[in-house]
Every structure is written in structure tokens, then in C-alpha cells.
Structure 1
């Protein structure tokens, strides 16, 4: 999938650094200076990876915690579903609209500084969510959480290339993927338990302890910011960032709210998204310091990696949109058992992440990406062909295969895309990777929901749209 250099078997045996990550490395991509035991991360690198992993876990956890509390929140604020759903949508829209700009800001003004600021904002916004006296203030605080998460998700991946030797990048990417999957799997269970036991405010306080731990680890162990080659002379493209944010917000709203609204609403939002995208492209061509340089996007490996990530995420959304209906209607399972079986996907991703990273380090990211795609194709084919007589097992087993392939693909693809990104562009490219995945998920929710609604002629479209949200 990528023409970037990927470490081979010989590279996989290269030990990770025992040198403190704050010392300027001989190469801006590695800090290998001495031996480490059994190829494991050296003590200086471990706390950095722990802090970055917590940063990734926080956004996944915060996103998956909230849905379990929505019925309670609707009752607490005497609000309809159309209003309380913004508690879930607000942070997702913030991240989608701002993640590329957040990565670029990190490239220009210091990734360490802005990652810590993002964590601080996320922590403060979490406390504000728990203390919110009105629904409007709660939604505003959730949007602020999304802004903090945009810096966290974009810059965490960029720091892997900054602090981890090349031979260990795959394992580090696998660790980040594992933590994201753990947060996604843990959120619904923890959210339901906290809501039932301590009330909805506890749901928004839950991310605060791991956020404080991440702040402590990263503040102490992240290397100090140093100017990256070519980055210090640039200026932040505020106009381009605003246009991109407006275009992405309109598109995301068209894909989410548009399903429950009228045709003109969706058409208007899509038109606004297209207009914003056109203006963004025009502004980038004229800007002296564009948000995304054309030379970066013209790299074949990067374009293929971003496009494939978006497409694969679109496919994966099928399991979230169609899965509940398949298990509840076709197999007659109750809501509790359906939720338990659907958690198999995130659990498989959590278990697969680290081995996928080791595989990418050993065989090369490009080859491992193809293995991941092949496994996904096998899982999707099995899902479509499994006889109904197999029952729930005929759905869950292929789902596990599909999700394992997705975890392998994501780890290897992220490793391949980030392999040879110049130091001054790691933030913006990391942001673009996160954006591609988010857009794929948003698009998949709409496209797969509409396709399933059309195919299941006996199911009212409005009910499907509500469930898909």
C-alpha cells in the first residue's frame, strides 16, 4: 500500500533505545543508542509510550462512555433524543473538523507543548461536563473535550516517530491501536455501571484520573520541543483551517443529522461541504504557508494510505449499523446479549493490536497491510455467506476475523504512512490519518444505514436511522 521504507527482519532485531528521549538523536526519526533487553522498549521510552497510549485511550473511552447515559440525561434535562444526541455528536464533530489543524499547529509551535495543552483542556472539560447545570453547557463542554482530543489524537501518533526507533514503530502503533480498542470496548460497560451506581455525572468524571496520569507522564518524560527542519519558518494557515473545518462539519452533519431530516436539509449540507472543500483547495493553492502542502499529498504512499483507511473504516461501520439488527431480529437475542456479542469486535482488536505491530516490524508494513486487507475480505465474505442455521456464532466468528484484519491493517497502514514523513510534517499527516478514519466511519454510518434500510423492506427507515445513531 505504501512505497515508504518498512523495517524488515534484520531491523526487527535492532534494540530500542536506552538513551533518554529528551537527548537530541543522531537522526530525527530514531533515538537508538544502546542495547535493550529482548527488543523491548527501554526504560526511557516506556513512560512516553504509556502517556501516549493513555491519550489515545481517553478519546475512545470518552466517546463510548456517553451513549449509555443518554436515556438518563434525557430524563434529567427533560430533553428529547434530538437534543441529547449532541452530547455524543459534539466531540466527534470537533475532532473531525479540527484534527488536521491541530496537527499542523503542533508542527509549527511545538508538539509537546500542544499535546500537554490538549490533555489539560480535555481534563478541564471533563470536569465541566460533570458540573454542567444545563444541557447546553454540557454540550459546549463536550465540544471542548473534542478540541482537546483533536490535539491528543493527532500528536500522539506523531510522537511515535519522534521518540521510538524505527525498528519499534510497528509495535508502538499496535499499542496505540490496542488502547483505542480497549477504550471502545470498556466504555459501554463502564458507562452503564457508573450511570446506574453513581449517576450520570460520574460518567464524565471517569476520564479525569487517567488524563491526570497521562499529563504527569508526558510532562516529565516527553522530549523538549525543538524546531523541525522547515517548520519554524511557516505560518499557521488560519483561513485554510477555517474553510476545512466548515467543510468537514457540514459533511459530518449531512451524514448524521441528514438521515433523520428532510432531503433538502441533507442536500444543503452536502452543497455547503462541497463549496467549502472547493474554497479550501483554492486557498491552499494560493497560500504561502498552506495547511497541507501539495508536495506532501502527492506522495503516492500517503495518498494510498489515506484513501484505503477511509474505505476500510467505511466497511467496518457495517458491523455497528447492521450488527444489532442481525443479532436481535434474525437470532432473537435480547439487548443485553446483543451488546455482549457486539463487544467481541473491540475485544479482538485489543488483543490483535500488539501482535500486529510486531508483525509489521518483522515483515514490513506494506506486506502486513496486504495481510490485514486479505483477512478483512475473508471475514466479510464469511459474514455474507454464513448459513442462518449457524446462529449467533455464524455472525460473531466472522466478525472476529474481520475485526482482527482491521486491527492488522490499521497498525500496518499507520506505520507505513508515518515511516518517512519529514519531522516538520508529522503532526499534520497524523491528523490527516485520523481524519480519514473518522470520515470513513461517518460515511459508513450513513451509507450502510441507508443500504440496510433499503434492503430490509419490512423495517421502517426512521427506526433504522435512530438505531444507527
Structure 2
């Protein structure tokens, strides 16, 4: 999903965003059926690869399509709606999937995806076409797409394979080499899948950097949170699940409001405001549970998640509104790529940090609380860096037109 995000976005720019979205949903749904019927692990892995490709289209292209059909001044509220629906899915997915697995085994989770995918496919046929948008011409950049996908996938695999027989350092070096090859190819390509000029564009550059950092912070709450609540605050597992649901529920409630606020103000200002709230929320996660217990943890989530929704709505609005319509698919893919890289990095790096500190303490509950504090203080530092990045001035503020 991470590796092909930009590629599917570029395909949407070239052959129509609704068309590629429909293909992506169909591939995802077919992958669910194959996964449910998979007789062996290799078949299951192949089905999941197909679902990853389909999911990349399903997450990137709706952003571009939403901007295509939305008038200026109303983009924020649409991005807020998308953020709200994403939060609802985040809240329902684990609970519903866990219930189905307990009832019908692991294949039941895949069978659940099949009708949902079919319904999504039916709904997507009603989306307006973006055929009026000028499309890039010339040969598609296959070499660049392959190198980018391979480099990102290698990086993702390196971070998600600690403890396995695959050495992390060589995989990271391989990822650097592949991405370096991608950069070299893009400099010479007549029609690059991701023009390197985008990296000199203020909104896109800051949008991707802050996306990585904020996603790392948010993933730390999902990875570290359950252990901190169970081992540190000594909550039962049902209560852990209940407390963890506060984040997605608050996101679902605040998403639409955040989008409307973006439309009434300036997206760039709201990006910084959202990042400041994320920084404060991460700091609260580090400190308040030590003082107020589970109440402090809940208060911190109520501060953190609206800030995340405000940042998300403002960042997506700012980036896509400042992008040439002909390139919105690939830039939406770049936003998805950066977010997924942050999620992967957060799951690995922040989890390792928490585990290392927890293992070095004698008492289980004390160690878990100390590890939680240290991890979320690092998360607050990352969010503060993202806030500073959002304030850095760039010389080039022109809309990307290449």
C-alpha cells in the first residue's frame, strides 16, 4: 500500500481518477475473496499484496477527487468529512474484525471485506468523472515507478522485520540505494512519476514532512497505549479497549468541525494550530497519566485527537489546493505515502523505544509508566519539530505546473 501510493495516483492523473479508483476497489474486493479462500500462506500473501495495491487507490484518489469537485472555500469541510469517516473506520475495524474472527475464524474477516468492497464499488460509480482535467502526456514512467515502489517497500520491510532472520541494516542500505536510483531516473525522465521539482514546492514539501512526523506520533499512541494502560495503569483488557476507543471517537466528532474551521480561516495557520495541539496532547500523554491515572490519559487523548484532525484537514486542503489539477492524483498519493511511512516508522521505532526502557526497569508497572513517559516525550518532540517545519519559509510558493 505504501510503495504504490504515488504510482496509483499518477495512473489516476493519466487515465482518470474515478476509473483507477474503481479498478482499485475491484482489486481490493477480489483480494478479500481470494484471501478468505486461500489454501496456503503464499496465496494469502498474494491476496494481501493485491489488497495493498487496491487500498492505495482507495486512500489516495478520493482526496484528489474530492478536491476536483469542491469549490474553493469548501475544501476543508470535505477533508474534515473524509477524516471523520476514516476515524469511524479506525474505531470499528478492530472491534468488528475481532468479533468476526472469534465467531468464524480468520477467514471471516476477509469475508466481511467482500460485501463492503462491493458496496464501495457501487457507490464509487456515482462519483463524478475528472475527465475534464488535463492529463499528462507521453510515456508512463515505469522505471521510476518500479524503483520508488521497491525502495519504499524495502524500507517498510526493514522496519517491520526486527527479530526475524532478515537483517535490518542491509535492507535499509538497499532502500537508500533504490531510492537514490529513483532520484537519478527522475532527473532524466521526460515524464517523471514524481517530478523532483515537487520537493522545492513549499506546501508539498512541508505537507509530506509534517505528515511523516505526525503519523509517527499518532501510531505511537496505538502501539504503546495498550501496554501502558494494561501494564502501567493496570487496567483490565476490556477497559483498555474502552479507553483506546476515546481517540477514534473524539476524531470522528471533531473531524467535520475541524474542516469547517479550516474553511473559515487560513489552512496554513490551521496546520500550525493543529500541530501545536498535537504537541500539547503528546506532552499530556507523557505526564497526565502519572498524576491523574486513566483520567489523565483520557484527557490527553481529547486534546491530541482534535489537533490531529485539524492538522489533517488543513494539510490536505493546503497541499491539494496549491497543486495543478493535472497532478492532484500523484500528490494525493505522496500524502498517503508520507503518512504510511510515518505509521510504519512509529510502529517500529516508538515500539522499540518503549520496549527497551520497559525491559531495563525492575518493577513491571513502574517500568511501563517510565517507558510511556519517555516514549510520549519523544513523540511530543517530533510534533514540536513538525510545528517548526510548518513555520519555515520557502522561496518557491508557485503552484506546481510541471
Query: Deviation at 1:224?
Result: 3.4
Question: How big is each residue's C-alpha offset from its partner over 1:152-176, in whole Å with a ceiling of 9 and x where there is no partner?
Answer: 1111111011112122211111111
Match of 1:310 among 203, 212, 232: 212
1:372/1:406 contact within 8 Å kept: yes
Is 1:223 the counterpart of 2:223? The answer is no
- Among residues 147, 150, 153, which one is paired with 2:53 in the alignment? 147
Q: Are the aligned partners of 2:289 and 2:295 in contact in 1 as well (CA < 8 Å)?
A: no
Counterpart selection for 2:157 from 222, 244, 253: 253
2:375 matched residue in structure 1: none
The whole-number CA distance in structure 2 between the counterparts of 1:193 and 1:169 is: 36
Instruction: Report the TM-score, using the length of structure 1 for normalisation.
Output: 0.74
Structure 1 runs of 4+ with >3 Å offset? none
For 1:222, what is the secondary structure of its paired residue?
Answer: coil
Provide TM-score, normalisation by structure 2.
0.86
- Tell me which of 55, 64, 80 is aligned to 1:158: 64
Q: Deviations over 1:91-114 (max 9, x none)?
A: xxxx10101000001111111211
In the TM superposition, residue 148 of structure 1 has moved relative to its aligned partner by 0.9
* 1:427 pairs with 2:333: no
Partner Cα distance (1:327, 1:423) in 2 = 45
- The Cα offsets for residues 309-358 of structure 1, whole Å up to 9 and x where unpaired, read as 11111122221222122111111112222122112111111111111111
User: 2:310 matched to which residue of 1?
Assistant: 408
Match of 1:332 among 234, 250, 268: 234
Other-structure match for 1:356: 258
Residue by residue over 1:44-85, the C-alpha shift from the partner in whole angstroms, topping out at 9 and shown as x without a partner, is xxxxxxxxxxxxxxxxxxxxxxxxxxxxxxxxxxxxxxxxxx
CA distance change for structure 1 residues 199 and 223 in 2, over 3 Å: closer, same or farther? same
1:390 Cα shift? 1.4
Q: Deviations over 1:375-424 (max 9, x none)?
A: 11221222222253412111121022112211111111111111121111
Q: What is the 5 A alignment of 1:63-212?
A: 95-212=1-118
Given that residues 113 and 225 in structure 1 are in contact (C-alpha distance below 8 angstroms), is that contact kept between their aligned partners in structure 2? no
- Aligned residues of 2:65 and 2:130 also touching (Cα < 8 A): no
Is the 2:270–2:310 contact (alpha carbons within 8 Å) kept by the matching residues of 1? Answer: yes
| Equivalent residue in structure 1 for 2:196, among 273, 291, 294 | 294
Stretches of structure 1 lacking an aligned partner (at least 5 in a row): 1-94, 465-469
Q: Does 1:237 align with 2:137?
A: no
CA contact (8 A) 2:183 2:196 kept: no
Q: Which runs of 5+ in 2 are unaligned?
A: 369-402
Pairwise CA RMSD: 2.0
Tell me which residue corresponds to 1:79.
none
Count of aligned pairs between the two proteins: 364
Q: Identify the residue that residue 280 of structure 1 maps to in structure 2.
A: 182
Distance in 2 separating the partners of 1:459 and 1:425: 54
Q: Distance in 1 between matches of 2:26 and 2:234?
A: 45
